[in-house]
């Protein structure tokens, strides 16, 4: 038995350490440790819900729109507001733009280098690469000759630029399996993705005033009023991104499968899934959102979301006590001790649903939408399963590569919806509908914002008295996914997903890294500190890595 550690996990947001116990070439135990400590909820205390919608965006620079919208929804419930139809459409468009940016960024620039070796692409025959692209249905938008020259410059200078610091030599050079021609094509798509994620953010900036951290979404609706010129720009950008996504992302995922087939057999996790739903339809019901809400148990049986079943355990986290309370009742008192996997080892709490760990991510949304019978999702999931050689076997999706692959179905779905919503907004403007904002019915109340960030289920809840926030709580996706061991002794979803993953290179456990990246961790988002008493002071402490 031996231990291997990845510290820090790179190509994510924040600071994450993963420690694993390996026996006979397989991970038998795992612990994930979030090294960030933050106190965002305290910042909005005694501020207005409108302020909160702006402030909480600063939790994350990749998913600020989601935080703005979750905060706005919570404020609207506290105020008794149902937003207008135009505001609903614009909110969907801004959220969709952020989803596209985040999914493109994650797949190509954070995750792809676990599978794609750009330097191996230097061995490619350009003519053969063109033939391979036709055979596999891979998009060809890049001049491969020019790309090869660019990569050669990197290699000759021994400065790999954006491709440096990766494990291309893992498992004695056998960890990366793509043919040179596929490596070269997908490296071209990696570079194209830098432009396309920027185009997606441009859409959010067009509607939100800037990006990141939009300015136009607020409690009550939106301050964005479309003009003919802005609608023309929106239409052009939305179609450009859609055309690239539809031609590129799912084929690229399928191109990985023949060479990494084994990654469809491990990395399942806890097997329970939660989604709060995202992108409102005119009914504003969570279960009828374009990506709907729902809870799936170990047998993928679907039930409705019950807020009262959510709790957070802190017995293995760096906080006082070992409480396991609903966030609305919980009290958070930070207390760093030592990094000890047998005791306390992370700043991340352990959320549970009905007392059990639950995965909350893009895979969860896709599985819930599949069980709800959303036509686009059902059609494309079934097609994906058939193309990977497992028709009808949804269990294949519950794996490292399944989690990675199905997210591209969501990307295509959102890209298509963006076209639909743009047309819907154009028609609304043509009809003379000019309502974008509604005022509060009251200034005292409570509200919960169940929404989704690209990484998964997002929960904001607040109490408001005379227009001022008295209490604010947040649980974000990575808090669920990176959870430590809970009060029942069960590992969190990522820790469970790592158990059973094969390791042949203790220094560079590439399969473990692939599994971690499939969850798209964000520890910058996952740790939030609340304290009911005002005036609480937190002392600076030293992390297990010696950083204050």
Using an 8 Å Cβ cutoff, are 350 and 492 in contact? yes
13 is catalytic: yes
**Residue of 111, 270, 360, 522 marked catalytic:** 522
**Residue of 36, 60, 111, 270 marked catalytic:** 60
User: How many other CB atoms are there within 10 angstroms of residue 2's CB atom?
Assistant: 9
Using an 8 Å Cβ cutoff, are 129 and 78 in contact? no
Q: Which two tokens stand for residue 208?
A: 């939100």
Using an 8 Å Cβ cutoff, are 359 and 480 in contact? yes
Judged by DSSP in three states, 384 sits in helix
Cα dist from 79 to 166, 215, 439, whole Å: 50, 20, 9
Cα dist from 236 to 38, 400, 419, whole Å: 39, 35, 10
270 is catalytic: no
72 is catalytic: no
133 is catalytic: no
Nearby residues of 150 by Cβ (< 8 Å), 6 or more positions away: none
111 is catalytic: no
CA 443 to chain centre: 33
Using an 8 Å Cβ cutoff, are 522 and 529 in contact? no
**Residue of 13, 181, 359, 452 marked catalytic:** 13
67 is catalytic: yes
**Residue of 15, 32, 33, 63 marked catalytic:** 63
H or E element, residue 324: strand 324-325
**Residue of 15, 67, 403, 514 marked catalytic:** 67
360 is catalytic: no
User: How many other CB atoms are there within 10 angstroms of residue 5's CB atom?
Assistant: 12
Cα angle for residues 218, 222, 223 (degrees, 5° grid): 100
**Residue of 15, 170, 525, 526 marked catalytic:** 525
Measured CA to CA, the distance from residue 548 to residue 539 in angstroms comes to 10
Nearby residues of 74 by Cβ (< 8 Å), 6 or more positions away: 49, 52, 447, 448, 449, 460, 461, 462
Number of H helices and E strands in the chain, helices first, is 15, 14
Cα angle for residues 257, 29, 21 (degrees, 5° grid): 95
**φ, ψ at 212 (rounded to 5°):** -80, 175
User: How many other CB atoms are there within 10 angstroms of residue 506's CB atom?
Assistant: 13
**Residue of 170, 217, 311, 478 marked catalytic:** 478
**Residue of 455, 460, 514, 517 marked catalytic:** 455
514 is catalytic: no
Residues annotated as catalytic are 13, 60, 63, 67, 455, 478, 522, 525
């Amino acid at each position: 038995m031996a231990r291997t550690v990845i510290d820090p996990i790179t190509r994510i947001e924040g600071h994450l350490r993963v420690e694993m116990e390996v026996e006979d070439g397989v991970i038998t135990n795992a612990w994930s440790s979030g090294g960030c400590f933050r106190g965002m909820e305290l910042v909005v205390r005694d501020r207005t819900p409108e302020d909160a919608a702006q402030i909480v965006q600063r939790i994350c620079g990749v998913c600020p729109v989601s935080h703005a919208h979750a905060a706005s929804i919570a404020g609207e419930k506290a105020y008794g507001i149902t937003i207008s139809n135009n505001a609903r459409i614009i909110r969907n468009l801004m959220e969709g733009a952020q989803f596209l940016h985040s999914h493109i960024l994650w797949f190509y620039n954070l995750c792809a280098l676990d599978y794609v070796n750009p330097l191996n692409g230097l061995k490619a025959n350009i003519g053969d690469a063109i033939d391979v692209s036709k055979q596999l249905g891979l998009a060809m938008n890049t001049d491969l000759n020019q790309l090869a020259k660019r990569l050669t410059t990197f290699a000759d200078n021994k400065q790999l630029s954006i491709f440096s610091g990766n494990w291309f030599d893992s498992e004695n050079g056998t960890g990366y399996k793509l043919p040179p021609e596929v490596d070269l094509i997908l490296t071209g798509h990696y570079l194209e993705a830098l432009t396309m994620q920027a185009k997606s953010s441009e859409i959010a900036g067009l509607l939100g005033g800037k990006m990141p951290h939009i300015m136009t979404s607020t409690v009550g609706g939106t301050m964005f009023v479309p003009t003919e010129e802005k609608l023309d720009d929106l239409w052009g950008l939305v179609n450009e991104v859609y055309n690239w996504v539809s031609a590129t992302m799912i084929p690229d995922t399928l191109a990985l499968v023949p060479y990494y087939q084994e990654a469809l057999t491990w990395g399942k996790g806890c097997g329970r899934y939660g989604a709060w739903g995202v992108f409102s339809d005119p009914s504003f019901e969570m279960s009828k959102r374009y990506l709907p809400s729902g809870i799936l148990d170990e047998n993928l049986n679907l039930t409705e979301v019950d807020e009262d079943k959510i709790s957070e355990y802190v017995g293995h986290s760096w906080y006082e006590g070992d409480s396991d309370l609903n966030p609305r009742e919980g009290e958070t008192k930070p207390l760093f001790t030592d990094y000890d996997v047998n005791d306390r080892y992370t700043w991340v709490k352990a959320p549970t649903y009905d007392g059990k760990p639950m995965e909350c991510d893009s895979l969860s949304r896709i599985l819930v939408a599949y069980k709800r019978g959303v036509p686009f999702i059902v059609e494309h999931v079934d097609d994906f399963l058939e193309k990977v050689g497992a028709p009808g076997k949804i269990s294949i999706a519950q794996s490292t590569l399944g989690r990675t692959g199905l997210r591209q179905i969501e990307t295509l779905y959102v890209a298509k919806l963006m076209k639909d919503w743009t047309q819907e907004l154009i028609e609304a403007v043509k009809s003379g509908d000019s309502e974008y904002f509604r005022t509060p019915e009251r200034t005292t109340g409570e509200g919960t914002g169940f929404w989704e960030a690209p990484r998964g289920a997002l929960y904001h809840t607040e109490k408001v008295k005379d227009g001022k926030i008295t209490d604010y709580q947040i649980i974000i996706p990575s808090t669920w996914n990176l959870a430590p061991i809970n009060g029942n002794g069960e590992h969190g979803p990522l820790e469970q997903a790592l158990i059973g993953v094969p390791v042949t290179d203790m220094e560079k456990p590439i399969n473990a890294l692939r599994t971690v990246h499939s969850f798209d961790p964000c520890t910058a988002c996952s740790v939030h500190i609340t304290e009911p008493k005002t005036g609480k002071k937190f002392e600076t402490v030293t992390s297990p890595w010696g950083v204050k």
